[in-house]
A and B are shown apart, each in its own frame.
Chain A
Amino acid sequence: DSGVTQTPKHLITATGQRVTLRCSPRSGDLSVYWYQQSLDQGLQFLIQYYNGEERAKGNILERFSAQQFPDLHSELNLSSLELGDSALYFCASSVGAVGNQPQHFGDGTRLSIL
């Protein structure tokens, strides 16, 4: 058990819809990272928050947004969903902001777009 909790585990929705994925980091971790894992693209870094502030941005689409709340949990919002957004979305957390610290991953949310 990594200590990182992601909900829901599975999400099925239709094109054009909007969903919110939730992540609770490991106790004591201030950084939260979001990743998208698909068969063709592999594991893609989306965005990082540290102590409530956006710290690094990766390949995140404009239709996607995220935030980290004062209690350090984070939400990833995906809107105007397309078939290609079907993927596993992982959240990870680490103690600090720097990249050379180990990240602890949740079990992911599987998003299926019909």
Chain B
Amino acid sequence: GNSVTQMEGPVTLSEEAFLTINCTYTATGYPSLFWYVQYPGEGLQLLLKATKADDKGSNKGFEATYRKETTSFHLEKGSVQVSDSAVYFCALSDQWDKIIFGKGTRLHILP
């Protein structure tokens, strides 16, 4: 079946470091791909999305490129801030329009 696999956390980085959170997926057809972020005590917020191969989603300095050949949608940011500390979820919408989330990756940024 369709699935999303994210790198295990927690990920701990120093401020201004480069961030990569890996995400790979298994799906039939051409799913839409998303990154959501959850700050402490809050619900999830959409961070970025891509709907077709080679699309790049970007927001707040974060980027992810839809790579169909490697079935990946890795999240990157060039210089992280303490305020980026949160849990990040990779997700896809499948051919039945269901959203499938990865297990989430907790990110800690140290000042």
Contacts and interface: CB of A to CB of B under 8 A. Distances in A.
Interface stretch (A12-20, A60-68, A71-79, A96-104): A96-104
Interface stretch (B16-24, B44-52, B68-76, B78-86): B44-52
A102 B37 CA distance: 13
3 smallest A-B Cβ distances: which pairs? A99-B93, A105-B43, A99-B97
A88 to B, nearest CB: 9
Interface string B79-105: 000000000010001101111111110
Contact of A92 (B44, B93, B97): B44
B32 A105 contact: no
A97 B99 contact: no
Contact of B46 (A48, A102, A107): A102
Contacts, number: 58
Contact of B44 (A48, A56, A90, A98): A90
Interface of A: 2, 4, 33, 42-43, 45, 48, 55-56, 58, 90, 92, 97-100, 102-108
B37 to A, nearest CB: 11
B4 to A, nearest CB: 10
A100 B32 contact: yes
Interface residues of B, number: 23
A103 B46 contact: yes
Contacts of B103: 42-43
A103 B35 CA distance: 11
Contacts of A33: 99
B44 A105 contact: yes
A47 B96 CA distance: 13
Contact of A2 (B32, B45, B96, B99): B45
A103 B99 CA distance: 10
